[in-house]
Amino acid sequence: MLAIESLFPLDPRYRQLRAASEAHFHTCFYCGCIATETDFAPPQDHWGAYANHGQSADNLQVPSCKECLTLLKGCTMALVQQRREVVHTKLTRKYQKAINVYLRWSEDELAELDFSLKHSIDAGLQLGQESHRRSNYPGFPYDVDGTVYPVEQIKPQAVVVFGERFEGLKAALVHASKTYGLSQGKLAQGLELHNNNLEAVILHLQREQQQASLERELGRLCGAFAKEHNQSRRYVVNAVKRYMERDQELSVHQALEKLYQERVQHFK
């Protein structure tokens, strides 16, 4: 097969970024799809501006796919890493819905759906998986004029959750959902609010769960207390909450006991 690079005559101002191993020939350096085009870092019509101002520029021709090249339209950045970040941000934004479906749905949940819904979510899930992979593509080791540059790593970035390592975010989400009994959808949603810190999301959701179960417990005990002592339930709930706000160590039982000692027994 003809190397993609040879299809594009080299602009003498640029050097060619070549895949160091055969496995990555004809691969888009930005997203890992098949490369049919060439991207220039910086763009050819901005080469002069960088050269004249002595600003750092890679001056590389980069194998790229058609979509990445389109996403880079108007991007004047001169470093390959910067251009890759632009592509990844734009890919994530473009396929956000599908990526959300991919991150939020687990295979188990999918199996429970009826056929037509399963079918449409399945399609979104596949597109989401592909988009997620492309927008996290780390590039490949490359060669410029005989010097090999090892790109950070080829494997997707590992996600560590409380000391356990996972190959990628999806695996970490599935694990966290099963281990902590939290909905995968809520976990994925929480990532946007917690700067993609999965541990922070887990802790936050656990606190929410504890809060909700405390509220239920409080409601149940206050209801029983109100009935027993012929008081309004709302009065008991509010009084207990006030006691507990003033003394954070107090349990619901202790707060009710206090309420009984200080107020209720005098009504009798």
- Minimum distance from residue 33 beta carbon to Zn ion (Å): 5
Amino acid at 252: V
- Cβ atoms within 10 Å, residue 148: 11
**Alpha-carbon distance 96 to 103, whole Å?**
10
**Nearer to Zn ion among residue 87 and residue 205 (C-beta):** 87
- Minimum distance from residue 219 beta carbon to Zn ion (Å): 55
Query: Which residues would be at the binding site for Zn ion (CB under 5 A)?
Result: 28, 30-31, 33, 65, 68
Contact between residue 2 and residue 44 where contact means Cβ atoms under 8 Å apart: no
**Nearer to Zn ion among residue 62 and residue 182 (C-beta):** 62
**Nearer to Zn ion among residue 33 and residue 256 (C-beta):** 33
- Minimum distance from residue 38 beta carbon to Zn ion (Å): 12
Contact between residue 182 and residue 194 where contact means Cβ atoms under 8 Å apart: no
**Nearer to Zn ion among residue 49 and residue 127 (C-beta):** 127
- Minimum distance from residue 64 beta carbon to Zn ion (Å): 6
* Residue indicated by tokens 């509010």: 238
Give the pair of three-digit tokens for residue 253: 């039982």
**Alpha-carbon distance 177 to 183, whole Å?**
6
- Minimum distance from residue 8 beta carbon to Zn ion (Å): 16
Sign of the C-alpha dihedral computed for residues 17, 21, 23 and 25 taken in this order: positive
Backbone angles phi, psi at 168, to 5 degrees: 95, 165
**Nearer to Zn ion among residue 63 and residue 190 (C-beta):** 63
